[in-house]
Amino acid sequence: MAKLPEQRPETLGGYVVHGLPFPKETDPDSLAFLKQLAPIQIEQEYQITYLHSYGQDSPWFAAASNKRLLATRESESGYTYATPRGHDMYSGEETEWIDITARAARIHAFTVCHFGSEEFLPETPYVLILVEFEGVDTLFLARLMGVEPEAASLEWIGMGVQPRFLRNSKLKPTDVYFVPTES
């Protein structure tokens, strides 16, 4: 039979904790201070590979990676969603995919973001817009590029925009962005 090690080998494993208070005495009364012990906090790097699915939205991401913008429409009512839905919110009926890449689009509303998530923080300030498409009942949220955020103006409302796509798709909603239409 193999001899068992006296102690498990230790590695740093991404974090080290020093100086945790604990009494050396074996007297049970010496443990009374533990009720006042502040919670131990450990800061460590955490990385995980996460496998997920876009499910019913997969066609949207496939289209965006091929420089097409899809929406969904309920076949009976014709209600059209710029941000796709698998089923109509009123009837519950399954929707169909439609291509809105070439449809006229304009800015319905915008905001200038001076703070963003970690991914976009280096790009602040940036502009988010709600895009209104011809013949589409809902709005689409995206970034507006090709403008100066510091020069934001109410004159942007109603401005024509057109979709652009990242050259190398990341299969993320941010693969599509908008620029002002060339007049």
How do residues 80-123 score in pLDDT, each as one tens digit?
Answer: 999 999 999 989 999 999 999 999 999 999 999 999 887 788 88
Who wins on pLDDT, 96 or 14?
A: 96
Query: What's residue 102's pLDDT?
Result: 97
Is residue 21 within 8 A of residue 37, CB to CB? The reply is yes
Query: What's residue 15's pLDDT?
Result: 64
Structure tokens at 32: 């009374």
Closest CA to 105 of 147, 161, 145, 154: 161
HSE of 62 in the Cβ direction (CA atoms, 13 Å)? 8
User: Looking at residues 116-136, what average pLDDT do you find?
Assistant: 91
State the chain's mean pLDDT as an integer.
88
Query: What's residue 5's pLDDT?
Result: 73
User: Looking at residues 59-65, what average pLDDT do you find?
Assistant: 95
Q: Rounded to an integer, what distance in angstroms lies between the CA atom of residue 118 and that of residue 110?
A: 21
Q: Is the pLDDT of residue 14 over 70?
A: no
**Residues 44-61, buried b or exposed e (16+ Cβ, 10 A)?**
eeeeeeeeeeeeebeebb
Structure tokens at 5: 């090690």
- In terms of DSSP H, where are the helices of the chain? 58-64
Q: Is the pLDDT of residue 59 over 90?
A: yes
Whole-model pTM above 0.75? no
> If residue 109 lies in a helix (H) or strand (E), which one and from where to where?
strand 105-113
